[in-house]
Amino acid sequence: MTSSSTQPSWVVLKFGGGLITEKQNLLTARKPVIDALASAVSDIQAAGRSPIVVHGAGSYGHIKAKRWRLHEGRIDGWISESTNDDGITSQDEACLSVHRDMLNLNAQVVESLTRAGLSTSVHPPRDWAIGTGPEFIGDFIEFLDAENDIIPVFFGDVVHCQNNDFGILSGDDLVLRLAKELRGVSAVVFCIGGAQGLLTAPPDETGSELVALWSTDMQLHGHHDSATDVTGGIALKAARAGSISEVVDDVWFVDGKYPSRVVEAALGGEPLGTRIVAATKQPLD
């Protein structure tokens, strides 16, 4: 437990939607992966850190959001031309459906954390955030309680927007704001699926290799699945991680299927993965 006389050492963990769900299959969670990540969170807390969990949407958010163009806000008079059997007939119904689906996925994440012996508090952005992108309006400080070892859990969500009714607030933007506004963030770990970290080419290309150190002034190679993804994919994650590295020393991309790497990154180690550094912090040759 964090002593009330000391500043908490926060660790922000982002569970990618493509890691914790089968992103191409509607409403399909990877429960063994979520369980393994929960065990990693337990180890991080046992080591004296104060974890914060932010998880993505994967197949619980992106598929319907893309089909109904929720990331574009309200489109008057528009009706989806996609053939589907989900019973949804409007963008408003799609928003409500994604809200329910995200609570479903979040419940599975919280269930795994609970089985790992952890106490959590859940804070759906729809209840307290307005707008999208890193400039969204909302205060999350009141939700954080390191002293009592309660782990706050956030997730990407459909939220109200002042100019176009609704939009998608990415979990990556939540991570950015948490890292920049909290005092005492010691590490931010992006747990991704399908790759060891950032790569020199998409993971399915021959000769693709791990980039051990990356900053925003370096070229980024990666694949964005624009057919389903509505929040910017790996490019958005890398950009947000680059901004975070300006204020947090330990910022990592690691393969979340290996929980030991998540723990090592969170505790100041050197795991297999990609360390993100600010351009001015790159070591000289």
CA dist 150 → 100, 126, 209 (Å)? 24, 21, 38
pLDDT at 102: 98
pLDDT at 32: 98
Alpha-carbon distance of 170 to 193, in angstroms, equals 17
Q: Chunked in runs of 10, what are the mean pLDDT values of the chain (285 residues)?
A: 63 97 94 98 97 96 92 85 74 96 98 98 97 95 87 97 92 97 96 94 85 90 58 85 96 98 98 92 55
pLDDT at 207: 84
Give which of 140, 122, 131 is closest to 169, Cα–Cα. 131
pLDDT at 145: 81
pLDDT at 81: 65
Q: Residue ranges of the domains in the chain?
A: 10-281
Q: Which fold has domain 10-281?
A: Carbamate kinase (3.40.1160)
Please tell me the pTM assigned to this model: 0.91
3-state secondary structure of 189: strand
pLDDT at 282: 58
Angle in degrees, 0-180, between the axes of helices 171-181 and 233-244, rounded to the nearest 10: 0
pLDDT at 220: 79
